[in-house]
Amino acid sequence: MKGVLGVIPARFASTRFPGKPLATILGKPMVEWVYRSAQKALSRVIVATDDERIVKAVKSFGGEAMLTPTRCPTGTDRMAWVARRIKAGYYVNIQGDEPMMHPGAIAGAVRLAVQKKSAATSAVELKDKPAASPHVVKVVLDKEGKALYFSRSLIPFRGHGVKSGQRILKHLGLYVYPREVLFKFIGLKPPLIEQTEKLEQLRALYHGIPIFVHITSHDSFGVDTPGDLKFVEKNLIGRRN
Per DSSP bridges, beta strands 65-67 and 24-25 are: unpaired
Q: What end-to-end distance do the CA atoms of the chain give, in Å? A: 21
Is residue 124 a contact partner of residue 173, using CB atoms and an 8 Å limit? Answer: no
Least reliable range by pLDDT among 98-102, 114-118, 206-210, 219-223: 219-223
Question: How many whole angstroms separate alpha carbon 125 and alpha carbon 177?
Answer: 23
Question: pLDDT digits over 177-201, tens only?
Answer: 999 999 999 999 999 999 999 999 9
Compute the mean pLDDT over every residue in the chain, rounded to the nearest whole number: 92
Over range 225-231, report the average pLDDT: 88
Question: pLDDT digits over 22-43, tens only?
Answer: 999 999 999 999 999 999 999 9
Q: Which distant-in-sequence residues (6+ apart) come within 8 Å of 209 by Cβ?
A: 118, 119, 181, 184, 185
Question: How many whole angstroms separate alpha carbon 113 and alpha carbon 135?
Answer: 26
pLDDT at 17: 85
Domains of the chain (ranges; CATH) run: 4-221 (3.90.550.10)
Question: How many whole angstroms separate alpha carbon 172 and alpha carbon 170?
Answer: 6
Q: Which tops the pLDDT comparison, 192 or 131? A: 192
Is residue 68 a contact partner of residue 94, using CB atoms and an 8 Å limit? Answer: no
Give the torsion sign (CA, 155, 73, 189, 119): negative
pLDDT at 131: 76
Over range 160-183, report the average pLDDT: 86
pLDDT of 240 over the 70 cut: no
pLDDT at 158: 73
0.95 exceeded by pTM: no
Question: pLDDT digits over 56-69, tens only?
Answer: 999 999 999 999 99
Q: pLDDT category, 225, cuts 50, 70, 90?
A: confident
pLDDT of 206 over the 60 cut: yes
